[in-house]
């Protein structure tokens, strides 16, 4: 790291551009900005690279971005209570942008590397003092794409319509984790292709590289498969279906932006729609009442109930064929087979399972049966790295009684640090999706109807002030409260892990479950919060001194939200616009080192 921390801190105040995620190392010189001309790209003859560069440049020229929020020291306030005002003070860099940058020289070491797990995404970006050339170097074209994203964020409007870039600048950048993503859910409510592409646009801008697509669930099956055409009888409507053509377009749109799509077919739980059109006989409890009101009989965590019958041979024939066709539609080398929230009561509706239980076996044995039969079957259809929800290995009620293969990647969603600790201790690779930090759907109350818990007129804890359901409490959302960008960014998810365990954490994915999400709200619930995650897994949440830089992120994410909106992503506002324009006046603490 060739720069001193002190210099870095000083320059960060003076330079208006503030790309998100913050690069691993960035240093600005002091000689000031140059104008940006029509930049010519001198680089490898590679379609992904050329398209990526064209996109970046057309965004630069269309938006002519004026940073919406820039960093500055907190202004001086009147002391309390002496009423003598002082004016606010802002840093303003002097510059004379007569020098013009005219070319981008790009070197890609290996233009043949494909988009796969742990592909090298690093890059360097350099504008030497006085040079008219932006020099970019990357190991792969995916690193080059990230360099372009950085470049388009550091080329800004000087306020008079001229595009400038601060120089000299030196960036060395690479992600902390190979898995950096968000999860969308098109099983509870349909998501249109247009809105999915919008998520991909925002992911590319924030350097996320994995779209985990929970395609189907018990409620609907929007996925057209040639193998079982009848499954889309359980799409919400003929218009709410993903055709092969549509999937191809989404997959290639993502790939062109360096984004992998990991498909999820949730099995054997969360299963009713689609499957039941193939064979109702291999389903358990699909005609049961979910029975949250009579807990002894409850068959599902949410309506509607349904699980594939683990002991029915037909299950393996059908899931195998479905897996095979889905694998053919999604070229990524990883495949998510679900595995969460199996309910024992649901299997009471299967005579096969009842007999199994009568023979002295338990739920763990049943889950082990699934692991032992389903996984080899899937591997035979298409050899992918399999991802499962952590439940199969760690759920108190429904974990496998024996061995879960260690090459399965487990996605940790429950109990925060504790489950990450336990799963990595047992040698599993882990994707972090802790609900207490990263579930973007939390805090919107409950979506279940006929719920008398809301019918409370007076705070029952008025006197002692403690939180209850309707007053400061969850209000029906099981994972309340809403996860703010600060909550997400503050998450130190490797706390307490050994170096060996840390190496097993492959990254993080923020899920946006869609019981209360469809096209109208997906972007505003996803963004800009997912950008806080993006920086967390790209360059971390700490500054060069090891202190959390959440407060430093403030102006960066406020600007980035406006940038997303300008790029057609309907991201939600985080604060009054006043706060964008008055750095840190909307902070909780005046002390900027509070966090």
Scanning residues 145 to 184, which ones bind a second copy (CB under 8 A)? Answer: none
230 included as an active-site residue:
no
Q: Considering beta carbons, is residue 30 or 472 the nearer one to a second copy?
A: 472
Instruction: Report the nearest approach of a second copy to the CB of residue 584 (Å).
Output: 7
Alpha-carbon gap, residue 309 to 293, rounded angstroms: 25
Alpha-carbon gap, residue 327 to 86, rounded angstroms: 64
Scanning residues 215 to 254, which ones bind a second copy (CB under 8 A)? Answer: 218-220, 236
581 is a contact residue toward a second copy (CB under 8 A)? yes
Instruction: Report the nearest approach of a second copy to the CB of residue 402 (Å).
Output: 27
**Residues linked to residue 510 through DSSP beta bridges, in sequence order:** 182
Task: Pick the binder of a second copy from 149, 288, 368, 424 (CB under 8 A).
Answer: 288
Please name which of 127, 137, 101, 162 lies closest in space to residue 26, comparing C-alpha atoms: 127
- By CB neighbour count within 10 A (0-12 exposed, 13-18 middle, 19+ buried), where does 559 fall? buried
13's CB contacts (< 8 A; 6+ apart) are 71, 72, 73, 91
Q: How far is CA 431 from CA 268, 385, 404, 527, in A?
A: 20, 13, 16, 21
Binding residue count for a second copy, defined by CB under 8 A: 116
Alpha-carbon gap, residue 14 to 27, rounded angstroms: 12
Task: Pick the binder of a second copy from 24, 131, 277, 292 (CB under 8 A).
Answer: 292
Task: Pick the binder of a second copy from 99, 158, 279, 436 (CB under 8 A).
Answer: 436
- Number of Cβ within 10 Å of residue 495's Cβ equals 10
482's CB contacts (< 8 A; 6+ apart) are 442, 443, 444
Query: If you ran DSSP here, which 8-state letter would residue 223 be given?
Result: B
Instruction: Report the nearest approach of a second copy to the CB of residue 450 (Å).
Output: 4
The span of 246-254, 328-336, 373-381, 481-489 binding a second copy (CB under 8 A) equals 481-489
Instruction: Report the nearest approach of a second copy to the CB of residue 57 (Å).
Output: 26
Q: Which of 166, 341, 390, 552 is catalytic?
A: 341
360 is a contact residue toward a second copy (CB under 8 A)? no
Task: Pick the binder of a second copy from 550, 559, 560, 567 (CB under 8 A).
Answer: 550
Q: How far is CA 467 from CA 445, 460, 477, in A?
A: 15, 9, 14
Task: Pick the binder of a second copy from 29, 168, 331, 473 (CB under 8 A).
Answer: 473
Q: Considering beta carbons, is residue 251 or 569 the nearer one to a second copy?
A: 569
468 is a contact residue toward a second copy (CB under 8 A)? yes
Scanning residues 415 to 434, which ones bind a second copy (CB under 8 A)? Answer: 416-418
Scanning residues 498 to 537, which ones bind a second copy (CB under 8 A)? Answer: 514-518, 520-521, 523-524
Alpha-carbon gap, residue 352 to 366, rounded angstroms: 11
The span of 97-105, 161-169, 394-402, 546-554 binding a second copy (CB under 8 A) equals 546-554
Q: How far is CA 507 from CA 87, 260, 533, in A?
A: 45, 14, 10
Scanning residues 63 to 122, which ones bind a second copy (CB under 8 A)? Answer: 77-78, 80-81, 83, 85-86
Give the catalytic positions in this structure.
341
């Amino acid at each position: 790291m060739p720069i001193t921390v002190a210099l870095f801190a000083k320059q960060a105040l003076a330079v208006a551009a503030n790309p998100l995620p913050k690069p691993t190392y960035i240093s600005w010189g002091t000689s000031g900005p140059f104008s940006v001309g029509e930049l010519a790209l001198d680089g490898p003859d590679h379609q992904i690279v050329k398209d990526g560069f064209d996109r970046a440049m057309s965004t630069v020229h269309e938006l002519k971005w004026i940073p919406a929020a820039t960093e500055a020291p907190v202004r001086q306030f009147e002391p309390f209570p002496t009423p003598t005002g002082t004016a606010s003070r802002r840093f303003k860099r002097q510059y004379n942008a007569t020098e013009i940058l005219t070319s981008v020289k790009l070197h890609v070491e290996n233009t043949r590397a494909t988009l796969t797990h742990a592909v090298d995404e690093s890059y360097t970006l350099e504008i030497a003092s006085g040079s008219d050339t932006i020099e970019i170097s990357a190991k792969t074209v995916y690193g080059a794409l990230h360099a372009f994203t950085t470049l388009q964020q550091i080329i800004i409007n000087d306020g008079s319509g001229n595009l400038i870039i601060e120089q000299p600048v030196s960036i060395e950048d690479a992600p902390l984790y190979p898995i950096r993503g968000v999860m969308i859910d098109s099983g509870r409510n349909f998501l249109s292709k247009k809105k999915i592409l919008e998520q991909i646009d925002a992911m590319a801008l924030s350097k996320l590289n994995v779209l985990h697509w929970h395609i189907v669930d018990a409620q609907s099956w929007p996925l057209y498969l040639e193998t079982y055409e009848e499954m889309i009888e359980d799409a919400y409507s003929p218009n709410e279906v993903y055709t092969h053509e549509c999937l191809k377009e989404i997959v290639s749109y993502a790939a062109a932006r360096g984004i992998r799509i990991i498909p999820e077919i949730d099995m054997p739980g969360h299963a009713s729609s689609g499957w039941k059109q193939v064979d109702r006989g291999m389903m358990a409890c699909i005609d049961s009442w979910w029975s949250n009101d009579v807990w002894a009989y409850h068959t599902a965590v949410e309506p509607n109930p349904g699980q594939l019958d683990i002991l029915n041979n037909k299950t393996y024939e059908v899931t195998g064929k479905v897996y095979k066709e889905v694998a053919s539609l999604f070229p990524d080398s990883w495949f998510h087979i679900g595995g969460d929230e199996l309910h024992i009561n649901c299997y009471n509706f299967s005579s096969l399972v009842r007999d199994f239980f009568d023979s002295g076996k338990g739920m763990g044995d049943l889950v082990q049966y699934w692991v032992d039969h389903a996984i080899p079957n899937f591997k035979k259809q298409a050899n992918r790295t399999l991802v499962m929800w952590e439940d199969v290995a760690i759920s108190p009620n429904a974990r496998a009684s024996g061995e879960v293969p260690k090459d399965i990647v487990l996605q940790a969603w429950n109990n925060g640090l504790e489950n990450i600790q336990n799963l990595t201790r047992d040698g599993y690779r882990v994707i972090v999706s802790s609900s207490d930090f990263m579930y973007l759907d939390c805090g919107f109350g409950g979506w279940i109807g006929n719920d008398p818990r809301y019918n409370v007129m007076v705070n029952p804890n008025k006197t002692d002030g403690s939180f209850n359901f309707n007053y400061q409490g969850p209000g029906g959302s099981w994972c309340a409260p809403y996860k703010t960008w600060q909550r997400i960014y503050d998450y130190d998810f490797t706390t307490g892990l050994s170096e060996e365990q840390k190496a097993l954490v492959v990254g993080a994915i923020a899920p946006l479950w869609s019981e209360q999400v469809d096209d109208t709200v997906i972007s505003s619930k996803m963004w800009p919060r997912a950008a806080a995650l993006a920086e967390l897994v790209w360059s971390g949440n700490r500054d060069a001194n090891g202190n959390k830089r959440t407060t430093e992120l403030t102006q960066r994410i406020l600007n980035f939200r406006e940038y997303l909106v300008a790029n057609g992503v309907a991201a939600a506002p985080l604060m009054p616009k006043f706060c964008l324009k008055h750095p840190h006046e909307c902070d909780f603490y005046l002390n900027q080192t509070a966090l």
